[in-house]
Amino acid sequence: MKVLVPVKRVVDYNVKIRVKSDDSGVELANVKMSMNPFDEISVEQAIRMKEAGQVEEIVVVSVGPQQSQETLRTALAMGADRAILVKHDDVVEPLAVAKILKGVVEEENPGLVILGKQAIDDDSNQTGQMLAALLGWSQGTFASEIEISGDTAKVKREVDGGLQNIEIKMPAIITTDLRLNEPRYASLPNIMKAKKKPLDEKSVGDYGVDTAPRLTVVKTEEPEGRKAGVIVGSVEELVSKLKNEAGVL
């Protein structure tokens, strides 16, 4: 089976995000970028499945600017086999990404697509679901355990109330959650090998997708800072405040 793993280049999770001075978005100039952490989990999952003999080839794909090549090389260094960069310099929304990925899926015919449940930059949590809908494939989102056997996949999903076990038909879309695995570090020999692995460049035009944004960003602002707390005199006062002021009881 071939697995397709889409990866996104995002602001590194260690970077303190700053809003641009004109409130139009987040400052990206001279900011460290790296692979979306959920996508690292997806790549790791694909590699583990390959190590277990369930997967023959891992193809990673990214939609983004030329620098997304670095993100793809990271995935190759972790253990993916080849990469596709669909070059696009402007903002691209989840629906457009899903449409482009649909094109890639039709070209590559993978038996499984593993995506991060969301990207830590816009937190959309949409691409996997949209891709499943566009392809008419089954989906198992927020996976914390995956077990493939023949035509079906058992997915343990992290849902609000706890864990939900589902069985879905292959080919399928799976999106990964935090607890699925702990991604490996790329080893030095694999980093060296990664530069020789194939990386194809494509353009959005190759898939005939209109990427014009459907949304308009009105304003981006910093979250409100934490307000000073109050010291309560008694348990009764605490309960009353939780009930009447906070409204959580």
Query: Which residues contribute to the site for another protein (CB under 8 A)?
Result: 14, 30, 32, 34, 69-70, 73-74, 77, 185-192, 194-195
Q: Provide the minimum distance between the beta carbon of 215 and another protein in the complex, in angstroms, as a whole number.
A: 32
CA-wise closest residue to 17 among 7, 32, 34: 32
Cβ nearer to another protein, comparing 86 with 186: 186
Residue 241: how many other CB atoms lie within 10 Å: 15
CA distance 42 to 167: 19
Cβ nearer to another protein, comparing 30 with 109: 30
Cβ nearer to another protein, comparing 77 with 105: 77
Q: Provide the minimum distance between the beta carbon of 167 and another protein in the complex, in angstroms, as a whole number.
A: 36
CA-wise closest residue to 111 among 156, 37, 184, 49: 49
Q: Provide the minimum distance between the beta carbon of 186 and another protein in the complex, in angstroms, as a whole number.
A: 5
The alpha carbon dihedral of 150, 72, 78, 139 has a sign of negative
Q: Provide the minimum distance between the beta carbon of 34 and another protein in the complex, in angstroms, as a whole number.
A: 8
Cβ nearer to another protein, comparing 185 with 245: 185
CA-wise closest residue to 44 among 98, 84, 11, 5: 5
Cβ nearer to another protein, comparing 32 with 219: 32
CA distance 63 to 69: 10
Q: Provide the minimum distance between the beta carbon of 56 and another protein in the complex, in angstroms, as a whole number.
A: 25
CA distance 97 to 124: 12
What are 124's two structure tokens? 């959309």
